[in-house]
Amino acid sequence: MTKTEFNVNDILENYKRRDEERREFIIHEGYRAIEEIIKEVNQRGSLNEADIYYGTPRPQLSFSDVELGYMLTSMMEYATNHVGNPADEKCELENKLAYFKYKDEIVQIFEVYGQGTDSWFLKPSDDTVYKLNNTAYGVYLNQFDDFINYTKNKDNESKKVSYSTTILNDITGGYTVGRGSK
């Protein structure tokens, strides 16, 4: 029987690296990406990662399915944490929605939970756009510029924390010292 080593530091570093890649993509390519997403959604009606491989016709995007996933996940997390999420009552599966406005366009994110999670960008109905612009339902409308600025601020905070963590690790030799430790 072989012994498998489990290195927590490697897992944490890998997670940190992916999180940095996600933030870097959003900060530096987010505006271009949302313009391409909106263009594709207006043409196709919806867009998700599978469309990049299996879509007919294929979407004309300058970024990968992984980067599209970064946008979907990050924008949904932002909406959940800042305004909450309504649900589509017509859908039989558990779900949540998010709405983002960029310039004069509104894009919707639909996330469904079943035997896994799937999410995609979609063009909201005219009725939904009316409700977002003219009723209290508009509380769910996020500004894309606010999302980008939030991501930039999180990136700056992360760099400060990383620097502090590096200093702490240098001082403690990598050991975490908690309360009551001897």
Tokens of 3: 């012994």
Per-residue pLDDT reduced to its tens digit, 7-46: 777 788 888 888 899 999 999 999 999 999 999 999 999 9
162 — pLDDT class (breaks 50, 70, 90) = low
Domain boundaries, the chain: 8-152
Q: Which of 72, 73, 42, 78 is nearest to 60 (CA)?
A: 42
The position carrying tokens 């919806």 is: 46
Pairing verdict, β 94-102 and 141-143:
parallel
Q: What residue type is assigned to position 179 of the chain?
A: R
